[in-house]
Copies of this chain bind each other. A is one copy, B any other.
Amino acid sequence: MTLPRLALTMGDVNGIGPEIIAKLFANYEPSAWCSPIIFGCASALDTVRHLVSEFPNFVAVDSVDAALSLRDGIPVYNGGHAAPAVQFGIEDPEAGRSAILWIEAATRASIDGKLRGLVTCPISKACIYKAGYHYIGHTELVAELTGTSEYRMCLFTDSMRIVHITGHLSLADAVAAVKKERIMDSIRIGYDALLALDIPSPQIAVAGLNPHAGEGGAFGREEIEEITPAIEACRGAGIPCEGPVPPDSIFRKMREGRYQMVIAMYHDQGHIPLKLIAMDEGVNVTLGIPIIRTSVDHGTAFDIAGTGVAREQSLVAAIRLAARLGSIR
C-alpha cells in the first residue's frame, strides 16, 4: 500500500504550531501513516529545539518535488515565502500572511494531484485580518481555493463524528438553511466519509432542529417538512440513517455506540457537545471538498507559545485521520 502524501501546514509561527509539529515527529512516527511534507519554516522549528528531546531531522527543501524525493529526514517547504522571525505570543501580520501562503501552496499542490490533502495547525484570525485577508478560517479558505460551495464543517473523535449542515452563519440564518436538499447532501457527504474510513455497519443519526425534535409539530415544523423527507429519501437510496432524533439525547446515544455519525442542524448543536467532551482528541474535518483536509481542534494558544507545555495530541489525531481518509479511498 502506498501511503498518502499529506501536507502539514505550520500555521502561525508565533503560536504553538512549530512546537506541536516538532513533538509530533519526536514522539510519534507519522511517516508510518503517511508521507508528510511540512509547509512552513525550518528556522521556526529551530526555535523550539530546546523544548523537544530527540529533536527530529527537519530538512529545508525548495519545491514539492524535492520534498517528495527526499531520502533522509523530514522535508520542510516554505512555498517560496520566508516567514518573519519568530516572536512567541505576538500578533504579527507577517506571520498571518506566511500562514495563509503556506495553506495556499499546500492546497494547490493537492489540487494538482501531487498531494492528497493537508493537515493544518492553527492560524490567528486577528493576524490574517491585519494582513488584509478576510477568511473566517481554514475551512472557508480551502473551500474557496478548491472552488467548492457544498463543503461541510465536521468534528470527529474516535467515538463521535459530527457533520454540520451549515458552518459560520448566524443562528437565524442557520435555521432558515434547514432544507431537505442541504440535509440530503450532508447525509451523503457524511456517509462517503464513513465508507472511506471503512467503518463496519455504520448508522447515521439525523438530529432534529427544535427542542424534542419539534414534538410532532407542536414547536417547529422543520422536522416534518424538511428533515424527515430528507431521511426518507436517503434511506430509499440505501443510506443507513434515522431520525429526527431529539437534539438533547442524540449525542449520548452516539457516545454509547448506537450511531457512528450525527448530522447536526447548526454549528453549535455539534460544537457544544463535542467541545465539552473532547479534550485533545478532537479533529476538525472539511468534507465535500475534492482533497483531504483535517485540522487540530484548538487555536494558536499564544499565551503558552514557546513555553514547552503545548500538547501534540490533537495534531496526532488530525494526521492519523487524514492518513486514514487518504489511504483507503
Residues of A in contact with B (beta carbons under 8 Å apart): 136, 167-173, 175, 209-212, 214-215, 218-222, 247-249, 251-252, 255, 266-269, 271-277
Contacts of A209 in B (CB 8 A): 171
Query: 11 A-B residue contacts at CB 8 Å?
Result: A136-B215, A169-B211, A171-B210, A171-B220, A173-B220, A247-B271, A247-B272, A252-B275, A272-B273, A273-B273, A276-B276
Least CB distance from A166 to B in Å reads 9
Closest to A264 in B: B272
Cβ–Cβ contact B136 & A218, under 8 A: yes
Cβ–Cβ contact A276 & B247, under 8 A: no
Least CB distance from A263 to B in Å reads 15
Contacts of A218 in B (CB 8 A): 136, 168
Closest to A223 in B: B170
User: CB within 8 A of A212: which of B168, B172, B251, B269?
Assistant: B168
Contacts of A210 in B (CB 8 A): 170-171
Cβ–Cβ contact B267 & A211, under 8 A: yes
User: CB within 8 A of A215: which of B168, B211, B266, B275?
Assistant: B168
Closest to A164 in B: B211
User: CB within 8 A of A276: which of B136, B168, B268, B277?
Assistant: B277
Contacts of A215 in B (CB 8 A): 136, 168
Contacts of A268 in B (CB 8 A): 211, 247-248, 269
Closest to A221 in B: B170
A171 to B255, CA, bound (A): 25
